[in-house]
Amino acid sequence: MLGRALGTVVERALDRLPRPAARGVRLVAHRGFASVNPENTTHAVTRTGGADAVEVDVRRAASGEVVVCHDATVDRVTDGTGRVAQLSARELDGLSVLDSGAGVPTLDALLDAVPDRVAVNVELKERGLGSDVDAAAERVENDVWVSAFDPVALRDAALPRALLFDRNPRENLAVADELDCVAVHPSVALCLGTRTVHRAHARGFAVNAWTVDSPGVAWALARRGVDGVIADRPNVVRQP
C-alpha cells in the first residue's frame, strides 16, 4: 500500500511537468547545451534537438527588462564588460556571446525562439523576477517552470516551482515542501551519494539532477530513479 501511495504522489508531480521523450528520463538542455552552443542565446535554444526542455538563467537589465544571462557580469561570455544590472537591454543585445554574433537576449525574445514542443526551465538568478517571468510565460504555448537556489526568489512566481540545492538535502526538501514546489533540482553528487532521490519522491517531488556531463553519470542517475537530467551536451542520454 505504501509503495502504491508513493507512486501516486510522484505521478501527480510528474503530471505537472513536461512529458519525457522515449528515453526513460527527461533531457534538459543546460543553458541550451552550453558545451556545444553559445549559452543562453536564441541561437542555442533553436539547436536543442532531442531535448525535452531547455534551461536558461535570468536577471534584470538596467532598462528594466528580464534578460538571459547566467553571470552577474558579461565579462566571461561576451566581448563586453560590466554588470548586467548596469547595462540596458539594447546594449546587452549588441554584445557577442562567445564570438557567436548572438547577443544577450531578453527573456521575451528567447521564449519566442524556443520550439513549441520544448519546455522551458527559467532559473531566477535574482529576487523580484517572478511576476515578470509569469507574464512572459503567458505569451507562449511552451510549458514553463521556474527554479532557484533562493527560496525568496521562488516565492514571487506563480508558475510551477523547483528548488535548486547542492547541500543540506533534508532541510531543502522541507523548504521545497513549504514553497509547494512540483520538483527539486539537486546536484549530481547528492543524487548519487545520498538518499535524496528517494526522499524527494516520498514527498511528491519530481527530481531533475544537475549538471550531468557523461552518459555514465546519466545512466547511474537513471538507476537511482531521477526523472530528468540537466546536461551541457545532448549525447549524455541516448536519443529516441
Is there a domain that residue 6 lies in? yes
Is there a domain that residue 31 lies in? yes
Is there a domain that residue 178 lies in? yes
Is there a domain that residue 187 lies in? yes
Element (H, E) at 15: helix 2-15
Residue 16 φ then ψ, to 5°: -90, 0
Domain range holding 43?
2-56+117-236
Is there a domain that residue 99 lies in? no
Contact (Cβ atoms closer than 8 angstroms) between residue 207 and residue 197 = yes
Q: What pLDDT is attached to residue 161?
A: 99
Element (H, E) at 62: none
**pLDDT tens, position by position, for the chain (240 residues)?**
434 444 455 555 555 655 443 358 999 999 999 999 999 999 999 999 889 999 999 999 999 999 999 999 999 999 999 999 999 999 999 999 999 999 999 999 999 999 999 999 999 999 999 999 999 999 999 999 999 999 999 999 999 999 999 999 999 999 999 999 999 999 999 999 999 999 999 999 999 999 999 999 999 999 999 999 999 999 998 755
- In angstroms, rounded to a whole number, what is the distance separating the alpha carbons of residues 100 and 3? 50
Is there a domain that residue 84 lies in? no
Q: What pLDDT is attached to residue 221?
A: 96
Total domain count, the chain? 1
Residue 115, sorted as left (phi over 0), alpha (psi -120 to 50) or beta, turns out to be beta
Is there a domain that residue 194 lies in? yes
Is there a domain that residue 24 lies in? yes
Q: Is the pTM of this model over 0.85?
A: yes
**DSSP letter at 235?**
G
CATH at 219: 3.20.20.190
